């Protein structure tokens, strides 16, 4: 709790200073799209009121889970600056910087803070195996770290003509769809997250994992952490489900059989409820910004061509559960859409 900032008062419009830019909700539950490519993140970063705009962007991402921008000219350096700013402006600990992934390579023009997401790289993305269910891939980034991610920013510059979409799911909504009894049960549990499989990936390339990964807590070679199963987002104040298929190995207070059973239930709850998900079809140089505390995501492996981009993952606070926090529906009575008129504007897009 010590690292938490006061939840931002529910704004009358979630967009606040961003309302000057055209946007619509991709679904009621999750995802907002800035539809005009004249809305450039590079310009928000350089604006005289940049801190206000970027604060409001972080608050929007935390409420809506994921936000999309079209055809962006943002550079890698600007992407890093933005990644750090979003958390700083919403009160993250001073010691939390950009994550250095255990297996990220120090490419001279990119640096250790950039993960290259590429269909060509030897490092297959988490959860992907041929001839297994696509739903194995649902995850939040780097939850094996004691101080995991707040925000992530992905820009894809090379895309197949079709395929290679990405899906995100809402942890707020996953929580809200559980019975009060099951919610209460989960609130008493902690989970062990494990990313030690990255050692094998590094060794395959004749390397060792990075031992310093962006925060004083994220050091050393043991890639495990214990986190609460229900977590409070410090920016919105809402509760969210915080376990994922790729990294969460066990629920610590349960027997192994019980743990497997509950984890299986929760991961299916997230992957089978397609109406708490958004699926995004990328165009070249689009950017997605998501809050890793309150969403899960997975890529779609249905293409053979080259697909590539750069990702920045910033570090937030040590996860905590505030028993006085509320769920999103409890706090707002709904989903916190940016605009009640979004259906009209969608219809107008032809």
Nearest-approach distance from CB 342 to ligand AKG, in angstroms: 24
Q: Give the helix/strand (H/E) hosting 314.
A: strand 308-315
- Nearer to ligand AKG (CB atom), residue 34 or residue 296: 296
DSSP 86: H
Answer yes or no: are the C-beta atoms of 317 and 215 closer than 8 Å. Answer: no
Q: Which two tokens stand for residue 204?
A: 């395959």
H helices of 74-230, where? 76-88, 171-176, 180-187, 197-204
Q: Is 141 one of the catalytic residues?
A: yes
Which entry of ligand AKG, Fe ion, none binds 64, CB below 5 to 8 A by partner kind?
none
Which entry of Fe ion, ligand AKG, none binds 74, CB below 5 to 8 A by partner kind?
none
Nearest-approach distance from CB 27 to ligand AKG, in angstroms: 18
For the sheet containing 190-194, what is the strand order?
A: 224-228, 190-194, 248-251
Catalytic residue among 99, 100, 297, 307: 297
Whose tokens are 């997975």? That residue is 298
Sign for the pseudo-dihedral over CA of 279, 282, 286, 287: positive
Catalytic residue among 55, 101, 139, 293: 139
Q: Is 302 one of the catalytic residues?
A: no
- Nearer to ligand AKG (CB atom), residue 175 or residue 247: 247
- Nearer to ligand AKG (CB atom), residue 141 or residue 194: 141
Nearest-approach distance from CB 191 to ligand AKG, in angstroms: 20
Q: Is 311 one of the catalytic residues?
A: yes
- Nearer to ligand AKG (CB atom), residue 141 or residue 176: 141
Measured distance CA(110)–CA(108) in Å, rounded: 6
Site string for Fe ion, 98-137 (x = CB under 5 A): ----------------------------------------
Residues that bind ligand AKG (CB under 6 A): 117, 125, 141, 152, 154, 166, 297, 299, 311
Residue among 252, 226, 241 at smallest CA distance from 182: 241
Nearest-approach distance from CB 99 to ligand AKG, in angstroms: 11
Residue among 267, 258, 268, 293 at smallest CA distance from 188: 258
Catalytic residue among 56, 141, 150, 286: 141
For the sheet containing 287-291, what is the strand order?
A: 23-25, 32-34, 66-69, 287-291, 149-158, 308-315, 115-118
Kindly state the number of chain residues that form the binding site for Fe ion, as judged by CB under 5 A. Answer: 1
Binding residue (CB under 5 A) for Fe ion from 141, 150, 194, 291: 141
Q: Is 199 one of the catalytic residues?
A: no
Residues that are catalytic: 139, 141, 297, 311
């Amino acid at each position: 709790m010590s690292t938490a900032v006061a939840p931002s008062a529910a704004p009358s419009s979630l967009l606040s200073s961003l309302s000057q830019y055209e946007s619509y909700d991709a679904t009621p539950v999750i995802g907002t799209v800035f539809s005009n490519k004249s809305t450039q993140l590079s310009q928000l970063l350089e604006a005289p009121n940049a801190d206000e705009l970027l604060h409001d962007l972080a608050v929007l991402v935390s409420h809506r889970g994921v936000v999309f921008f079209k055809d962006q000219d943002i550079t890698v350096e600007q992407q890093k600056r933005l990644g750090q700013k979003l958390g700083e402006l919403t009160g993250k600990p001073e010691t939390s910087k950009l994550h250095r992934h255990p297996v990220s390579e120090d490419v001279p023009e990119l640096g250790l803070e950039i993960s290259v997401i590429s269909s060509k790289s030897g490092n297959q993305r988490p959860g992907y195996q041929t001839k297994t269910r696509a739903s194995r891939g649902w995850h939040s980034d780097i939850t094996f770290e004691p101080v995991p991610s707040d925000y992530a920013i992905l820009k894809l510059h090379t895309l197949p003509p079709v395929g290679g979409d990405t899906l995100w799911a809402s942890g707020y909504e996953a929580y809200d769809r559980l019975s009060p009894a099951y919610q209460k049960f989960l609130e008493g549990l902690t989970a062990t997250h494990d990313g030690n499989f990255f050692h094998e990936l590094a060794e395959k390339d004749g390397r060792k994992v990075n031992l310093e990964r962006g925060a004083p807590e994220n050091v050393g070679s043991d890639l495990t952490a214990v986190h609460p199963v229900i977590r409070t987002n410090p920016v919105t104040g809402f509760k969210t489900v915080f376990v994922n298929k790729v990294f969460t190995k066990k629920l610590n207070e349960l027997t192994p059989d019980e743990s497997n059973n509950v984890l299986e239930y929760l991961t299916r709850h997230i992957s089978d409820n397609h109406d708490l998900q958004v699926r995004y079809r990328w165009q070249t140089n689009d950017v997605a910004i998501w809050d890793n505390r309150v969403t899960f995501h997975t890529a779609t492996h249905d293409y053979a061509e080259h697909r590539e981009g750069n990702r920045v993952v910033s570090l937030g606070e040590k996860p905590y559960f505030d028993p006085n926090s509320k769920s999103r529906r409890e706090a707002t009575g709904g989903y916190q859409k940016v605009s009640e008129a979004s259906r009209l504007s969608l219809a107008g897009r032809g």
